[in-house]
Structure 1
Amino acid sequence: MSDTRTILVVGTYDTKDDELNYIADVIRGQGGRVLTMDVSVLGDPSKPADYSKHDVAEAGGHSIQEAIDGGDENLAMQIMAKGAATLAARLHHEGALDGVLVLGGTMGTDLALDVCSALPLGVPKYIVSTVSFSPLIPPERLPADVQMILWAGGLYGLNSVCRASLSQAAGAVLGAARAVEPPKRDRPLIGMTSFGKTVLRYMVALKPALESRGFEVAVFHATGMGGRAFESLAEEGAFAAVLDFAPQELGNHIMGSSISAGATRMTGAGKSGTPQIVSIGCYDLVDFVGWQEVPPKLNGQEVHAHNRLLSSVMMTPDQRCEMARAMAGQLAQALGPTTLLLPMHGGNEWDRPGGPLSDPEGLVVFIEELRNVCPENAELIELEAHINDEGFARAALRQIDDWIQQGVLNVQ
């Protein structure tokens, strides 16, 4: 099979013509093909793009004149973003592209996130941006497998500094397009959330047991970005079922931590009607960036330093009740089968009796609140077990087996 791959290069060719053409030349120099997409509004490129600004606007149901006449650059860029995302998705569906690279500042990055979100997992997506990794970018806008590189020294014109970034990105997207192994989808996929084995261990027993039943299992690290990837895939219906046992990112969000998967955490499976089993892993902890100040809402509470990047704050009883209500509110929106497994003896290895973060009274308060607010569409199953006990894993497997027997889940 040929190594030739086609990369879609997207940007405002009226203002970044030199940079975009340089990227295209690097890709071609490495044996790749290039399609160009111009998302300018006012100006024109030095030579015609494969997909002009008129093509882009029309793909989104608008015209360039509408973008100009609106008199607002934000409105204009949203028109172009809609068209660029629609056109990119169409090109991928037609087999015309193998990867995408989008270049921009804040305006271009805003558009780039929409373009990359329109493409499925496994299609290489590279954003070259002056605001890569910036807190300007909300987690809910990030596609599951997007890659970013900082466009250093590239605000205006080519130079040796920005060429280093641009050439890396060009080589990276072409190399990724050649090397990528897209998801096969030959077995039904179960998505699971967790943390490392020092705090949550159920996946050690569940993964092989589920695989023996014919499923593929993907475990997502619920530290903000992992949960965002999990949610985006759940919402698009990529999972046959989800085992969302580590909902802590929802607590992070409502308590003001920047380690967040966004306000839609714990809603993706519900929106797509995907069967879901949820539980309370690390419900009692709020993670925050260890080298930053504790979020104001958590000042004065006990802190556990996990490492130099990550610290955790123990929730008060009132905050645990707030977490219970937030979980119930998210689950109440679910359109598919929903089971809430409630291990009565605790939700992480540190909260066992005698453990460093043990708080039996706080656990009782949380359990009682969750009982009271559990939505009618969710089946509540209380377990005389800790979340890391074998009994918890067995209960989850019983629910999976029941769904298989009922035809809710199909294993081929």
Structure 2
Amino acid sequence: MSKTILVAGTYDTKDEELGYLAGVIRGQGGKVLTMDVSVLGDPSQPTDVSKHQVAEAGGSSIQEAIDSGDENTAMQIMARGSAPKALELYRDGRIDGVIVLGGTMGTDLALDLCAALPVGVPKYVVSTVSFSSLIPPERLPSDVQMILWAGGLYGLNSICKASLSQAAGAVLGAARAVESPKPDRPLIGMTSFGKTVLRYMVDLKPALEERGFEVAVFHATGMGGRAFESLAAEGAFAAVFDFAPQEVSNHMFGGLSAGADRMTNAGRSGTPQLVAPGCYDLIDIVGWQPTPPALADRPTHAHNRLLTSAVLDADERRQVARSICDKLSSATAPVALLLPQHGCNEWDRPGGDLHDAEGLAAFCDEITARCPENVALTKLDCHINDAAFTAQALDVFDDWLADGTVKLK
């Protein structure tokens, strides 16, 4: 159970705090490997990985960082080096988890460092800006943990020690307890919303498992889509069922974005994609905040106190259709686009609260007109939550299994 934690930070300004973290980890029976990512000063004691080694790992030098004369540029040099260096340490079996602390500068670097490590490697960021809107979702690794570093801007005190000691215990405990992903079956990545809105996952998941696959369903509310894209970029999926791409709409119109690269990474990594436009017509906004003026006259659905969805108009739906087609056009593996023509979420049925027949028709027409040549488009005379939709998705997938597009082993 002896685990080694990488403790990283700017040892010229946070030496005492980083030393405290390391002491707690060692006091709980863990081991520590230290990494200095500072530029100007030096730690009180040499670190296991020096700032010079970090800068060199990013193809630069400490002198170049100093000569830049700009702290932002300098810290980006250190971020470029810390990420591959941390990955090297992990691949060499020298670390089992990582903890990084900092303010805005240290957090900016910490996100790059943590993003370089695979899913299942415990990653903890102790930050004065944890959970802040300063941090865009596309910067967050899929399984990072954060804790607010209360009272920790400068120097140790009893308040910040409470945060630091919790984080130190958490990362060591995670390293001891983690069950890293080692799938014994090929993995399918699926996007969805809640079961009251999109229901296909209820039948698709067991059906795909019967065919010998493992299925991971991602909640497409910004962070879920970010995790999905992160894994798709790594080529983690045998295929994807990307049936809830409303984060594309959100990114375009100011909702809960998963980043500009949403709906692109599976295509880039050569992963076969089954795609459908579930909830494409919605902009997801923070329910407890005032409705933005631009959406004030739209039909909305309060999903709960956290999340409200507003409806796109016909012209905006055409824009979404064009964006989806553009993203899929660069895919390097087969893409099948299923287009349910009777609605794409449970609220979007004839008589439903958010149904807009004209808007749905505009979207379907634009998809038909703009669908790229590399995408196999199938129009379906059903709603996305109907059994016919699920059956068609499985038919396509079974054809891919039969012709080797998707491999079971």
- Give the TM-score of the pair, scaled to structure 2: 0.98
Q: Are residue 279 (structure 1) and residue 276 (structure 2) matched?
A: yes
Same amino acid, percent of matched pairs: 71
Q: Are residue 400 (structure 1) and residue 397 (structure 2) matched?
A: yes
Equivalences for residues 318-357 of structure 1 within 5 A: 318-357=315-354
SS at 1:350 equivalent:
coil
- Once the two structures are superposed, residues 316-345 of structure 1 have per-residue CA deviations (whole angstroms, 9 ceiling, x without a partner) of 111111111111111112111111000111
Deviates more, 1:94-103 or 1:69-78: 69-78
Q: Are residue 17 (structure 1) and residue 31 (structure 2) matched?
A: no
Partner of 1:169: 167
Equivalences for residues 172-211 of structure 1 within 5 A: 172-211=170-209
Structure 1 CA distance for aligned equivalents of residues 84 and 364 of structure 2: 45
Q: Are residue 378 (structure 1) and residue 370 (structure 2) matched?
A: no
- Once the two structures are superposed, residues 187-217 of structure 1 have per-residue CA deviations (whole angstroms, 9 ceiling, x without a partner) of 1100000011111110111001100111100
Partner of 2:87: 89
SS at 2:347 equivalent:
helix
Check whether the contact 1:187–1:411 (CA below 8 A) recurs between aligned residues: yes
Partner of 1:362: 359
Moved runs in structure 1, 4+ residues, more than 4 A? none
Shift in CA distance, 295/236, structure 1 to aligned 2, threshold 3 Å: farther
Give me the CA root mean square deviation: 0.9
**Which of 299, 312, 321 lines up with 2:309 in the alignment?**
312
Partner of 1:213: 211
Partner of 2:267: 270
The CA deviation at 1:126 is 0.3
Structure 2 CA distance for aligned equivalents of residues 115 and 67 of structure 1: 18
Q: Which amino acid aligns with 1:316?
A: D
- Once the two structures are superposed, residues 45-84 of structure 1 have per-residue CA deviations (whole angstroms, 9 ceiling, x without a partner) of 0101011111111111211111111111111111111111
Q: Which amino acid aligns with 1:393?
A: T
- Once the two structures are superposed, residues 238-297 of structure 1 have per-residue CA deviations (whole angstroms, 9 ceiling, x without a partner) of 10100000011111110112x110111111101111100110111111110011232344
Equivalences for residues 116-131 of structure 1 within 5 A: 116-131=114-129
Partner of 2:46: 48
Q: How many pairs were matched up?
A: 409
Partner of 2:34: 36
Structure 1 CA distance for aligned equivalents of residues 298 and 349 of structure 2: 19
**Which of 131, 144, 147 lines up with 2:145 in the alignment?**
147
- Once the two structures are superposed, residues 1-39 of structure 1 have per-residue CA deviations (whole angstroms, 9 ceiling, x without a partner) of xx1111000000010000000000000001100000000
Q: Which amino acid aligns with 1:120?
A: P
Structure 2 CA distance for aligned equivalents of residues 220 and 32 of structure 1: 33
- Give the TM-score of the pair, scaled to structure 1: 0.98
**Which of 232, 242, 245 lines up with 1:234 in the alignment?**
232
Check whether the contact 1:383–1:392 (CA below 8 A) recurs between aligned residues: yes
Structure 2 CA distance for aligned equivalents of residues 83 and 389 of structure 1: 50
Check whether the contact 1:143–1:232 (CA below 8 A) recurs between aligned residues: yes
Structure 1 CA distance for aligned equivalents of residues 43 and 117 of structure 2: 26
Structure 2 CA distance for aligned equivalents of residues 298 and 262 of structure 1: 21
Partner of 2:67: 69
Instruction: Give the gaps of 5 or more residues in structure 2.
Output: none
The CA deviation at 1:41 is 0.4
The CA deviation at 1:135 is 1.0
**Which of 131, 134, 139 lines up with 1:133 in the alignment?**
131
Structure 1 CA distance for aligned equivalents of residues 70 and 358 of structure 2: 55
SS at 1:158 equivalent:
coil
Check whether the contact 1:255–1:297 (CA below 8 A) recurs between aligned residues: no
- Once the two structures are superposed, residues 364-406 of structure 1 have per-residue CA deviations (whole angstroms, 9 ceiling, x without a partner) of 1111111111111111011111111111111111111111111
Partner of 1:78: 76
The CA deviation at 1:299 is 3.1
Structure 1 CA distance for aligned equivalents of residues 407 and 241 of structure 2: 16
Q: Are residue 112 (structure 1) and residue 113 (structure 2) matched?
A: no
- Once the two structures are superposed, residues 206-240 of structure 1 have per-residue CA deviations (whole angstroms, 9 ceiling, x without a partner) of 00110011110000000000000001100110101
Check whether the contact 1:105–1:155 (CA below 8 A) recurs between aligned residues: yes
Structure 2 CA distance for aligned equivalents of residues 41 and 388 of structure 1: 56
Check whether the contact 1:256–1:295 (CA below 8 A) recurs between aligned residues: no
The CA deviation at 1:185 is 2.5
